[in-house]
Every structure is written in C-alpha cells, then in structure tokens.
Structure 1
Amino acid sequence: MYLIDVKVRKLSPRECARLQRFSKEFIINPSQTQAYKLFGNTISINVLKEISKEIIKDKLILIF
C-alpha cells in the first residue's frame, strides 16, 4: 500500500509482479489472493545478490 494525494492505494498484482521483475508477458493467476501470495513469497534475485555480496564481504573481512 502507498499514499497518493492523501489516499491509500494497494498495489495491483501486476504492479507487484513488475516490482519483482516478472516479465510483462507473465500470466498472473486469476485469483488475486493466489497472485498476492505468489509475489509476496518471491525472492528478488537482485536483492538476494546484493545481500550475498555483503555476507561474503563480511566473511572475508573476518578471515583477514
């Protein structure tokens, strides 16, 4: 949910998919509940990549 002109609006399943970098052609489950579950449980590869880099960097610092 986010605020636009003092109104709160929930992201649509398509907007959630695009934030997770799913393609425009990705077919979304017709059930909004299932679609929100899918996108809510998805791990963004770019975020995971950056977290992994930080973990590796921290471990390398501890080693040396």
Structure 2
Amino acid sequence: MNLPLKDRLALASVTLDFLAKIMRGEDDDVLVRSLVHDVEWIGNRVRDRLKAEEIPSILKGPRDEQA
C-alpha cells in the first residue's frame, strides 16, 4: 500500500519519538499503548481514504471504463 506523504511522515514521527524514549530508558506500558493508538488511528485514516477512492470507481462501472 502506498501511503500519502502526510501519513508516512506522521507514522515516522510517532515511531521515532517512541524509539528515542526507549533509547533514553523512558519506555513503559503507557508509551506502548500510546504508540499502538497512534498507529491504529493512522491505519484507520488510510483505510477510510482507500474506501473513499474505491467507491467512485465502483459507481463508474465497467462500461464507463471502456469509453
């Protein structure tokens, strides 16, 4: 799946923040839950965007594609 640049940057930012905290020894369960929440949120945004892109192509139909 090819994510939009904004989503890739958001995911990279969250991941790098989390890794920096681990390296400083600041990791705990709260940080893990926070990272999971952020990644799920980004995943849901991407899924919603993909669904929105599929609907117009479904409505278009096969006859419209031949034109």
How high is the TM-score relative to the length of structure 2?
Answer: 0.38
Structure whose CA Rg is larger: 2
Higher strand share: 1
Higher helix share: 2
How high is the TM-score relative to the length of structure 1?
Answer: 0.39
Q: Which has the higher contact order (CA 8 A, sep 6+)?
A: 2
